[in-house]
Chain A
Amino acid sequence: MIQAGSLGIPYAPVIGLAGTDLYRRRDDVTITPNPFDPEEHTVVVRALNPDVAIFHATKVDRSGNALLRWHPDNEDLQVARASRRVIVTAEEVVDQVSPYDSGGVFLPTINVTAVVHAPGGAHPTGVNGYYELDREHVLEYQRCSVSDELFRSFLDKYVFGVTEEEYAHRYGRAPVKV
């Protein structure tokens, strides 16, 4: 559980899952007595601490602060806190990103290992205020996902067969005017 990982605790109680094949097939979930009330048992799940997390931000600064996409749950923050290394790619490098910036979620540098200037880095998905989802590209990805052979041809075309510059030139999206 990523929440537990973000808090540095070994596991967390949850309500639900018991009786399912999800519960039966996983070794990171079990049932244990509540230490404060032995009459109650709870499902507990083990903490998750990813080795590396990669985020794409709208803005980063050179100190490593980042402005991530807005999300009601700030779940990116939980993932960043839980992960051992955090790489943030960004549309723009600016002088300063602060917790008072609007339009996104502030990720402080204490949780960031490295930042990378990568405009267009979310392609083929979109970045609000920068560019839209590339629908045709996503559909092509979907069509190529049905077999190993097709997927290899997709990787050859878009990943192994082009340099970063060629990719940006050929498939980069025109900026959205705001």
Chain B
Amino acid sequence: MPEKPDCNVSELLAVLIAREVKDWEMCACGALSQIPAAGLLLAEATHAPHVQFIIRSSREFDQVGYDMHFLAQRGQMDLFFVSGIQIDAEGNFNLHVIGNADAPDVRMPGAYGTAMLYYTAKRIIIFRTEHTRRTFVEKVDFISGSLKTPEKVKRHTQSVKVITPMAIMDYDWAAGRFRLGSVHPWHTVQEVQDNTAFDLGAPPQAPATPAPTVEELRTLRTVVRERMIDTGTYPVFAREGLQPA
């Protein structure tokens, strides 16, 4: 089995996210999204020089306010990033509470805009820095965002993908569940299933995710790191989370 490349979880996810970004697309990421922000800038620095993006809380890339939501409502947002404290088999994510909503064990900041963008962006990437059974649960404690669409209600979402430190999962609309897409080459299908509380319906052999290349990591740690610092885009994360080249 190949060795895990010499990079941290943030760098790994940023590289895998960058590969999903297509040239000329309109993309955006919301609050606390330093990893997608790095991924978008890496895509721009490599294969997607014409990508447009909105990065919330960035000094340079957040000038539009509500326009981001209205653009998405008109069906013009190609790619948006979400995360959650819990993510379940049916594509629900939880950003609100752990436990009973009326007497929660843990109460989190919550979200509304995410439940809107989960409907309006054409493609969704769910990113999560840990792949554990407490995160990937059969059923979330609270549904902050859902892929169940009532009859006759308009939805722009076309595809949903989860990217974790172990694997990539794709949402199967016909089955209404996540399926294993690819496994990072330093992990096995069995390890991914053991760390996921819902059935991945995985074949014994799943395709291997191509590992981050030396060139991808070098660009991330030089061009992207500097650009994040220079543009006021999560500069502390860039300085501390992306390793110096």
Contact = CB atoms under 8 A, between A and B. Distances in A.
Contacts of A41: 150-153
Given A20-B144, A21-B143, A72-B65, A15 B150 contact: no
A25 B117 CA distance: 20
Contact of A31 (B120, B153, B156): B153
A72 B64 contact: yes
Interface in A14-48: 14-22, 24-25, 31, 33, 39-43
Contact of B144 (A15, A22, A72): A22
A95 B64 CA distance: 33
Contacts, number: 71
A75 B113 CA distance: 15
Given A15-B120, A21-B142, A22-B144, A31 B65 contact: no
A148 interface: no
B187 to A, nearest CB: 32
Contact of A43 (B92, B96, B145, B153): B153
A114 B97 CA distance: 39
A14 B154 CA distance: 10
* A contact patch SS: mixed
Contacts of A42: 153-154
* B contact patch SS: loop
Contacts of B150: 18-19, 31, 41
B148 A21 contact: no
B117 A18 contact: no
A73 B154 contact: no
Contacts of A21: 96, 101, 142-144
Interface string B53-74: 0000000000111110000010
B179 to A, nearest CB: 20
B144 A16 contact: no
A170 interface: no
Interface residues of A, number: 22
A73 B155 CA distance: 25
A169 interface: no
B149 A19 contact: yes
Given A71-B65, A73-B66, A17 B116 contact: yes
Interface string B140-170: 0011111111111111100000000000000
A18 B142 contact: no
A14 B101 CA distance: 24
B114 to A, nearest CB: 9
B115 interface: yes
A147 to B, nearest CB: 15
A132 B166 CA distance: 43
A21 B112 CA distance: 11
A144 B153 CA distance: 45
A23 to B, nearest CB: 8
Contact of A15 (B63, B73, B148, B152): B73
Nearest to A71: B65
Contacts of A75: 66
Interface of A: 14-22, 24-25, 31, 33, 39-43, 71-73, 75
Given A20-B92, A75-B66, 19 more contacts: A15-B119, A16-B118, A16-B120, A17-B115, A17-B119, A18-B146, A18-B148, A18-B153, A19-B146, A19-B149, A21-B143, A22-B144, A24-B143, A40-B154, A41-B150, A41-B152, A72-B63, A72-B66, A73-B66
20 contacts: A15-B156, A16-B116, A16-B118, A17-B119, A18-B146, A19-B150, A20-B92, A20-B144, A20-B145, A21-B96, A21-B142, A22-B112, A22-B143, A33-B152, A40-B153, A41-B151, A42-B153, A72-B63, A72-B64, A73-B66
